[in-house]
Amino acid sequence: MDAYSPLKTPVSSRRKTTSGTLDIVLSVNGRDHRLSVDPRVTLLDALREHLSLTGSKKGCDHGQCGACTVHVDGQRVLSCLTLAATVEGKAVTTIEGLAPDEGRLHPMQQAFMDHDAFQCGYCTPGQIMSAVACVTEGLAETDDDIREYMSGNLCRCAAYPNIVAAVRQTRDEMKGERS
């Protein structure tokens, strides 16, 4: 399955209420959340509007910019193209849940700061989520690899060289931890 493809899970087994909504439980950032949502609500809208997790951004709402990127069971997905009901029973990680401890940044978040890899900051959460996947999946061997893998995330401010440097720094740090 392409990491950017919406996840597909049959909705027929969901509990539909008399008002036409679905009762679902989303596991987001290590916590379960019971929601009653319209069957058509996207994961992005569930995160932003129902759970007040506004780090994931609604950029194009068509899966073309990457601003809404989150991890589902460790794989990056575009939350604007993924129905919330399809991720029930899966672990969703957003930018808010990426840091290992309260008060500490994830190494990728720190690298983005170290390299000034953001300007307006709008695309930054999606960029960071994709960058983490790039490194953890071993797809960041060269700068060209990084640019290719990150090409689904757009930055209107053109901080691309700084983003590549941040991914490279984190890749090297993580390699050092594995050795």
What residue ranges do the domains of the chain occupy?
15-97, 107-178
Question: 67, 122 in Cβ contact below 8 A?
Answer: yes
Candidates 7, 18, 16, 19; CA nearest to 88 is 7
Residue 139 is predicted with a pLDDT of 93
137/155 Cα distance (integer angstroms): 22
Of residues 175 and 172, which shows the higher confidence score? 172
φ/ψ of residue 12, rounded to 5: -60, -25
Point out the least confidently predicted range of 25-29, 47-51, 154-158, 166-170: 154-158
Residue 19 is predicted with a pLDDT of 76
Convert 142-179 to b/e letters by CB count within 10 Å (16 or more is b). eeebbeebbebbbbeeebbebbbbbbbbbbeebeeeee
The class (CATH top level) of 15-97 is alpha beta
Residue 179 is predicted with a pLDDT of 55
| Residue 178: pLDDT over 80 | no
| Residue 5: pLDDT over 60 | no
- Give the number of other Cβ atoms within 10 Å of residue 131's Cβ: 30
For domain 107-178, give the CATH superfamily.
[2Fe-2S]-binding domain (1.10.150.120)
| Residue 102: pLDDT over 90 | no
